Amino acid sequence: MTAVDNRTPGETRRVHVREVGPRDGFQNEPETIRTADKIALINALGRAGFERIEVASFVRPDVIPQLADGVEVLRGIDVPDTVRRMVLVPNSRGLDNALKVRELFEDVTLFVSSSQTHNQRNINRTVEQTMDDVAVMGKRVVAEDLTFCAVIATAFGCPFEGHIPIDRVLDLAEQFAAAGATEIGFGDTTGMANPAYVSRFFSAAVERLPGVELTAHFHNTRGQGLANAYAALEAGCTSFEASFGELGGCPVPAGSTGNISTEDLVSMFHEMGVETGVDLDALLVAARQAQAVLGRKLTSHSIIAGPVLWSTATP
């Protein structure tokens, strides 16, 4: 199956790029970043033109101490009104805590792993238990007039269970949609995807989930992240998640390195003539600021080489 291009002749392609570094990136750092530094970095990202930034999560602080200051960060940031602030919620208790500060964000992300083993190791629940909770939480999120976003981890393979059938992943996606999710992300949690499979996957997802915003979240664990993003784009996906500086990864299992670098993803799209609405120069300022805060060189190509000298593809 191939996606149908519904654009009129000459129409410019546009994608949405969501920045997840302040949550997905910071939680995997070995040290805890100072609250003031987090706020400064998120403010810098806010000036880069993102429509959405994932700012914090409402997980137990003893499980992920790097994000224990989430409410302080949400209260301290100063981003444009055009930026939607997102939070990640693992369960009903987390949602209870999040709703105590409902005024500090607009979007809520609920998540599950398509792999039973990964879900158990990640949040100590079966997939079925998680989805039962999702059905309840989804109603609460929608009732609060918040945007209900979903993420399905290990969508392209699990290090414990291997290949995950497309139908299993899309069945979970349909359950999320039935619970009220208007945007569903598919995570290549440990970097097991390849472009050919990504193309088949998103062609099937576009067909199965009409009217739902589908988001691709790739990791660069094995160096195929940008190729996978291109394959998703060509299959009809127009929404992507990435992390500035290529920060992040998956704590289960060890060795699952970072997300696609947001600046590399945006740079690629701009070179192809695909609009993102993101100011690449401002994004690079934020990425280099993160490098200074962390005190080490980050791994994105764009930090090292800088952007190319043109903004659209050459003839």
Task: List the catalytic residues.
Answer: 250
Angle, CA of 5, 235 and 274, to the nearest 5°? 65
| Contact call for residues 21 and 245 (beta carbons, < 8 A) | yes
Find out whether 198 and 240 touch, Cβ atoms under 8 Å: no
Distance, CA of 69 to CA of 24 (rounded, Å): 14
Six-digit token pair at 146? 């918040």
Contact by Cβ (8 Å): 140, 99: yes
Cα–Cα dist 152/154, whole Å: 7
Burial status of residue 27 (CB atoms within 10 A of its CB: 0-12, 13-18, 19 or more): buried
Pairing between strand 239-242 and 213-218?
A: parallel
C-alpha distances (whole Å) from 268 to each of 7, 154, 300 are: 20, 25, 12
Listed in sequence order, the residues at least 6 apart from 162 whose beta carbon sits closer than 8 Å to its beta carbon are none
